[in-house]
Amino acid sequence: MSDATVYGPSALATPANAVTVIRLLVAPFLFSLMVNEQASWKVFVLWVILAGTDGVDGWIARRTGTTRSGAFLDPLADKVLVLGAMCSLAVVGRWSWFPVVVIGGRELGISLYRVYWGRRGLAVPARASAKAKTLVQSLAVGFAVWPWFADDRWIADWLLLTSVVLAVVSAAQYLLDGSRAATAMEPISGGAG
């Protein structure tokens, strides 16, 4: 039997949430470095640490108890890191704004969509394509700031384009899943009124 503390769903101060909050607090420093140094070892190592700790907070949460606050904070930290990094790279001209805006618009739209259905008691779970999108986005940023690949821009650019395709595909899947689930709910919610 483990001696680890197990946190309930309403807990706020958990080790997993601490890791997530640290990621959020360090993110602006990373973005500043990206704008000023772009592809450097300092930027690359910090990106790898912050992107890699996404798995760490999830691992901790699975062992000590998942929480509603963690379910909100973890995806928020992922979006802040990825979109902030992409915006930083667009600011310095490394990437065009168009794919960054498409990805950002997708994130905002799907987040609002999930909130809309969540308030109606319907969870729209993440698809494998959405998880693949996040991974490919992280790899795109990583290759864009990795000094070894600074001159081989096509790798990061190809990964960015792939992540845009995955963003659009996963958004379409979310919309389809939500409409199917809503259709299945209609007989339950409709009643004598």
* Domain ranges within the chain, ordered by starting residue: 15-186
pLDDT above 80 for 172: yes
When pLDDT is cut at 50, 70 and 90, the band that residue 187 belongs to is: very low
Whether residue 94 contacts residue 144, with contact meaning beta carbons closer than 8 Å, is answered with yes
Global pTM value:
0.83
Asked if 113 and 182 count as a contact pair (C-beta separation under 8 A), the reply is no
Separation CA 131–CA 125 (nearest Å): 11
Residue-level pLDDT at 146: 95
* DSSP type of residue 121: T
- The domain made up of 15-186 has a fold known as Four Helix Bundle (Hemerythrin (Met), subunit A) (1.20.120)
Distance CA 180, CA 6 (A): 35
pLDDT of residue 71: 74
Burial annotation 52-83 (CB, 10 A radius, 16+ → b, else e): ebbeebbebbeebbbbebbeebbbebbbbbbb
